[in-house]
Structure 1
Amino acid sequence: MLLCRVVEYHVDGFRFDLASVLCRGTDGAPLNAPPLIKAIAKDAILSRCKIIAEPWDCGGLYLVGSFPNWDRWAEWNGKFRDDVRKFIKGDCGMKGSFATRVAGSADLYKVNKRKPYHSVNFVIAHDGFMLYDLVSYNFKHNDANGEGGNDGCNDNFSWNCGFEGETNDSSIKALRSRQMKNFHLALMISQGTPMMLMGDEYAHTRYGNNNSYGHDTALNHFQWGLLEARRSNHFRFFQKVIKFRRTRRVFSRETFLSKNDVTWHEDNWNNHDSNFLAFTLHDSSGEDIYLAFNAHAFFVKVSVPPPPAKRRWFRVVDTNLESPDDFVIEGVPGTGKTYNVAPYSSILLEAKT
């Protein structure tokens, strides 16, 4: 069946839902070398396709980072999702984990001949909260599903920014906007393969329903009108950041980061209360990228490192600013030796001549 899809229909890849179930024997016990997984990886045709595993199943076989792969299978990186969600919303003690995830999750995938792109990074998937709901709801709201609210995951690592659900409070709405931009920026600057969910580019909501697959309604229908209404702000930011990633090679390295590729501007990784992280991604031609993420509820005045020789820092992203100033492709000059990073916001500076 898989071969037919590739040969006859020119499908270029497959994502296997709950793929860990294919790593069990007839008695349900985990297998070290599951034959079907190996056969797909070794097949002359299928091995050239994109092969992606959702590396867990309903029975609790969680194989993120250890899915049998023969250096071919990529994985949905569930730890990226959880760690990035926790850090951006301000959970303490997550700075080191956040750094590991945006750097490509070498702790999980730097094994044998695996590459950073074997980590499929995501914050949102088809199951669970939409991005807007991730920053608008602390709890799932699944009553419409007819299961008494018992369906859907309870561990969403979400934060409603001060009010559960829809609100007219301008400060909460602004905070939610910043947080969605922070999540998107973190995803797009991370080493690995980024995945986002259709609808997040215009802030689609399911009103807190995190298991809405059974609804043939506006909960799941693409809202073209909302896309048009938000084309000049929310959508613009998402679009521009995606394009920026695609045109900057520092975000998609073929190998895991070495000490020459990144400088972490951090001297106290063990500070449990620190929710701020800054680092520089180095480019061989001097087009370095400086990033800072502030998940504190207060401003952080950070010292900006000197740019490479004969270059200056230009501000490309500041998620605290309104559109179109939140993303300026040509960059805004004049960045000094310090930058006051706003609460729950992030910045990106680019070294240019």
Structure 2
Amino acid sequence: MRLTNGMPYPLGATVTPIGVNFALFSAHASAVELCLFDPQSDELIASFKLVARSEDIWHGMVEGLTVGAHYGYRVYGPYEPNNGHRFNPNKLLLDPYAKALSQSFFYHPSWQGHQVNQVFDDAAMDQQDSASYVPKAIVTAAETDAQKGVAPLLNDIDKSEEDLIIYELNVRTFSAANQQINQPLRGTLAALTEAKTLDYLTALGVSAVELMPIAACVDETRLTKQKMRNVWGYNSINFFSLEPRLYQYKSAQNFVCLVKALAQRGIRLILDMVFNHTAEGDSNGPTLSFRGIDNKSYYVLEKDNLREYENFSGCGNTLNTEHPQVIQMILDCLRYWCRLGVAGFRFDLAVALGRNYLSCNRDKFAAQADFSRYHPLFSAIHQDPVLKNVLLIAEPWDLGANGYQLGQFPSAWHEWNDQFRNTVRRFWRADQGMTGAFAACLQGSYDKFSRGNRKARNSVNFVTAHDGFCLTDLVSYNKKHNEANGENGVDGCSANFSFNYGVEGATECSEINDLRARQKRNFMLTLMLAQGTPMLLAGDERSHTQQGNNNPYCQDNSITHLNWNNLSEEQESFLDFVQHLIALRKSHPSLKRTRFMHGDRLFDTHPIKDISWWHSSGVEMAESHWNEAELKCFGLLLCSAHSLNTTESGGKQIAGILLLFNAATTPNQFLLPPFTRQWQLLIDTDTTAITKQEYTAAEIRIAQRSAVVLSFKQQIDKRAA
């Protein structure tokens, strides 16, 4: 092997006909050393100083090297924490552009770039060599055989926004306890390609699977010492490579097989990306990659104290997404996953990605780094010919000042709508004064998403997500029970808007269990029939319980592992109910409008509107009705029209669906709208039965804490239309 100058682009390790080209960014380094390791023994076999430098890119071509080589970097420069520099050549560093790792990260004291337990903890550089205790990057091929043929499959997937139903799942916990899957595959990406899994997802009816983070991550030191792990994966150390614990063989091949398997079932794949911080943590954290390569460029440092990190993520540091190199890395990463077949991305704590870190002028940095939808990163994504066409979902908050930005992201972005979650929970809990806000949620949260010609689909509606209570726990616990996490119960949100209906946790009381089951049906009906993009948490449809733990990020056990054994009769009934709701949403055009409805008449000569609100007295809701303090029962009528080309009349048909809600603790008689007497009763959450029967009465009884769904069709002749 010999080293030549090579090329500064592309960054990372690139296989060529004559060898492997290596390129690494570091604006402040004085030297960069490439280290090559034996894949079997992990012993150092060669090292090269990258003497070629083009601007801030250090590069070199190792001739004769090929796919499968293991490597890492030692980066030289000043160790001056007070000036923002933490170079330490004793630490072997992971290439930010690595596409595969030799193993997972398992904590070792040699990771620390500074001497621990000194008067000033990070004042002195640590001399321990970390090379034996960190994973190595693996050189991968530019394109694998597995990637070939992905594009045609992806082109065949229905990408219509109106049919988008997202299913959020964790790779590990989804299949870890599924005995229908071969033991070695449980808890891995391969389990999701198994026929049993694909059949389940297809029968459920979801159109997109959103994977919680699958990128290489590091367990927090506290968890390692307590023999626990961060099973959620929101502690990334590299954004291009898969976490080795999630696959059984070649990572890219494993991943592309999943993309293909889902695509063949018409299901898109969305990745949850954690670009707001890295696993290197605060100033006391380890030196594994970015910190040792160029701390001052990659991270946002306190303006008046460069040894410390701004912490908008709540995890110790914040990536500097205003730095051109960080922007390039993020875009390169997103495009890489798109080439592997990913259809969209969810951005964790996305406000941290859009803060103006470099343009602040005031004394206190954190108070100045304001969020902007015109941030350079968002602008770069918008201009990218690949990324501007994929699904982009923001978690529209972070932990910094003014960190809550729901509705403020660029127009094309979708956003997690936590106001939908909170409002729906409070309405069905029968809290006072929630009916108006609940109605707004049903309409797609127009009050939050009307800016910039945005649409109802931009609101990602959810009642539960990985953060917080799962659905069964939402109706079973008044407070969180997170003691198993080892944080004295202080972790996790305390404002859950949950209700246990008389007993904390599981109970044998049939009356309470019946009410809990009905409330679960109410929540799921609201989620699936509201305007917007629904997101279902994996396991909710199977009545999974986390035993009251609303932050089980470190529970790799029965608390998070979904139960795939025989479900009870009640659980099977609820699963059928969820499948029925998803099918209903897909089948009725008025339930999946992408645009907002404003109460416009469908025809000039006919009184029916695209959306209307109804009082239980049988009249349209007036302002005075909305102001009723005790109002907990009302109706929503959604209508659409289409041409009847097969009839001689040349008229049109109105398809209407009426949603009736009663959150009160007493039943209510509801006088139906006068347009028709030919209704079909589709759903009554007071019962577990799924029926479709004619209903011709003028009014209907709605049980306490329940919902009813009716539909009708009406033909309008040519003259009226």
Q: State the TM-score, normalizing by the size of structure 1.
A: 0.94
SS of the aligned residue for 1:278 comes to: strand
Once the two structures are superposed, what CA deviation does each residue of 1:14-39 show, in whole Å capped at 9, x if it has no partner? 00000011121223411322111221
* Greater relative CO, 1 or 2 (CA 8 Å, sep 6+): 1
Match of 2:597 among 257, 270, 274: 257
Are the equivalent residues in 2 in contact too, given 1:212–1:219 (CA < 8 A)? yes
**Partner of residue 54, structure 2:** none
Matched ranges for 1:238-257 at <5 A:
238-257=578-597
Partner amino acid for 1:96? G
Aligned-partner Cα distance in 1 for 2:611–2:656: 9
State the 1:230 CA deviation: 5.1
State the 1:58 CA deviation: 1.8
SS of the aligned residue for 2:640 comes to: coil
State the 1:41 CA deviation: 2.5
**Partner of residue 332, structure 1:** 693
Structure 2 residue 660 is the aligned partner of structure 1 residue 292: yes
5+ residue gaps, structure 1, are: none
State the 1:227 CA deviation: 4.5
Structure 2 residue 681 is the aligned partner of structure 1 residue 315: yes
Structure 2 residue 514 is the aligned partner of structure 1 residue 174: yes
**Partner of residue 74, structure 1:** 414
Structure 2 residue 439 is the aligned partner of structure 1 residue 104: no
Residues 338, 229 of structure 1: alpha-carbon distance in 2 compared, 3 angstrom cutoff = closer
Match of 1:275 among 632, 636, 645: 632
Match of 1:301 among 657, 669, 684: 669
SS of the aligned residue for 1:112 comes to: helix
State the 1:166 CA deviation: 0.7
Partner amino acid for 2:389? R
Are the equivalent residues in 1 in contact too, given 2:351–2:371 (CA < 8 A)? no
Aligned-partner Cα distance in 1 for 2:633–2:670: 10
Once the two structures are superposed, what CA deviation does each residue of 1:85-132 show, in whole Å capped at 9, x if it has no partner? 111111110000000011011111112221111110111001100000
Name the % identity. 41
**Partner of residue 382, structure 2:** 41
**Partner of residue 354, structure 2:** 23
Are the equivalent residues in 2 in contact too, given 1:91–1:275 (CA < 8 A)? no
Aligned-partner Cα distance in 1 for 2:586–2:710: 16
SS of the aligned residue for 1:264 comes to: strand
**Partner of residue 503, structure 2:** 163
State the 1:40 CA deviation: 1.4
SS of the aligned residue for 1:333 comes to: strand
Partner amino acid for 1:264? W
Deviates more, 1:26-35 or 1:194-203: 26-35
Once the two structures are superposed, what CA deviation does each residue of 1:232-251 show, in whole Å capped at 9, x if it has no partner? 41100011111110111101
Aligned-partner Cα distance in 2 for 1:301–1:239: 29
Match of 1:12 among 338, 343, 356: 343
Residues 226, 183 of structure 1: alpha-carbon distance in 2 compared, 3 angstrom cutoff = farther
Aligned-partner Cα distance in 2 for 1:2–1:94: 40
Structure 2 residue 708 is the aligned partner of structure 1 residue 347: yes
State the 1:228 CA deviation: 7.2
Aligned-partner Cα distance in 1 for 2:630–2:381: 45
Residues 40, 231 of structure 1: alpha-carbon distance in 2 compared, 3 angstrom cutoff = same
SS of the aligned residue for 2:577 comes to: helix
5+ residue gaps, structure 2, are: 1-332, 358-364, 600-608, 615-620, 642-652, 715-721
Partner amino acid for 1:218? S
Partner amino acid for 2:519? Q
Are the equivalent residues in 2 in contact too, given 1:315–1:335 (CA < 8 A)? no
Aligned-partner Cα distance in 1 for 2:437–2:416: 17
Structure 2 residue 83 is the aligned partner of structure 1 residue 83: no
**Partner of residue 478, structure 2:** 138
Aligned-partner Cα distance in 1 for 2:431–2:395: 26
Are the equivalent residues in 1 in contact too, given 2:543–2:571 (CA < 8 A)? no
Aligned-partner Cα distance in 2 for 1:55–1:156: 19
SS of the aligned residue for 2:658 comes to: strand
Aligned-partner Cα distance in 2 for 1:217–1:226: 18
Aligned-partner Cα distance in 1 for 2:379–2:528: 31
SS of the aligned residue for 2:541 comes to: helix
**Partner of residue 3, structure 1:** 335
State the 1:200 CA deviation: 0.4
Residues 129, 339 of structure 1: alpha-carbon distance in 2 compared, 3 angstrom cutoff = same
Partner amino acid for 1:278? G
Matched ranges for 1:103-252 at <5 A:
103-227=443-567, 232-252=572-592
* Number of equivalent positions: 343
Find runs of 4+ consecutive structure 1 residues off by over 2 angstroms.
Answer: 25-28, 226-232
Residues 34, 227 of structure 1: alpha-carbon distance in 2 compared, 3 angstrom cutoff = farther
Give the greater-gyration-radius structure (CA): 2
Once the two structures are superposed, what CA deviation does each residue of 1:195-229 show, in whole Å capped at 9, x if it has no partner? 01000001100111000010110111121115575
Aligned-partner Cα distance in 1 for 2:379–2:498: 37
Are the equivalent residues in 2 in contact too, given 1:202–1:226 (CA < 8 A)? no
**Partner of residue 395, structure 2:** 54
Once the two structures are superposed, what CA deviation does each residue of 1:240-277 show, in whole Å capped at 9, x if it has no partner? 11111011110111320121211101331011221112
Aligned-partner Cα distance in 2 for 1:99–1:226: 38
Aligned-partner Cα distance in 2 for 1:295–1:230: 22
User: Could you say what the CA RMSD is over the residues aligned between the two structures, in angstroms?
Assistant: 1.5
SS of the aligned residue for 1:283 comes to: strand
Q: State the TM-score, normalizing by the size of structure 2.
A: 0.47
Partner amino acid for 1:345? S
State the 1:312 CA deviation: 0.9
Partner amino acid for 1:280? L
State the 1:334 CA deviation: 2.9
